[in-house]
Amino acid sequence: MTPEDRKFRATDARQLLENKLFVEAWTAVEKHLINSALSCDPDNKDKAHRIVISQQLLAAVKREITRVVQDGEVAEVQIQELEKRNKLAFFRR
């Protein structure tokens, strides 16, 4: 994937993380999982295990979206460095 592609993906990911409906939905799911964990019968290990896995999965999705944003920031720096090198190479000729 080119640095430009990574930069565009980062823009989409950032917009997603900042989207009001997405944030509301995310918060609702997090609250539901927390409430489910707190109200879960301690003897029901299968249900508790599923809740924990769901919480981990939710966190992993957010980490991945954040990683795409950060990768786009790195790509932006790479693009700037390439542009600097190209300008220097042009002046050396």
In this prediction, residue 86 has a pLDDT band, given cuts at 50, 70 and 90, of confident
Q: Which domain holds residue 68?
A: 3-92
Q: Is the pTM of this model over 0.75?
A: yes
Q: Note whether 30 and 57 are within 8 A (CB).
A: no
Tally of domains in the chain: 1
pLDDT given for residue 41 in this prediction: 92
pLDDT digits (tens, 9 = 90+) for 3-56: 999 999 999 999 999 999 999 999 999 999 999 999 999 899 999 999 999 999
Angle made by CA atoms 75, 78, 83, in degrees to the nearest 5: 130
Encoding tokens for residue 40?
């879960």
Q: Note whether 73 and 9 are within 8 A (CB).
A: no
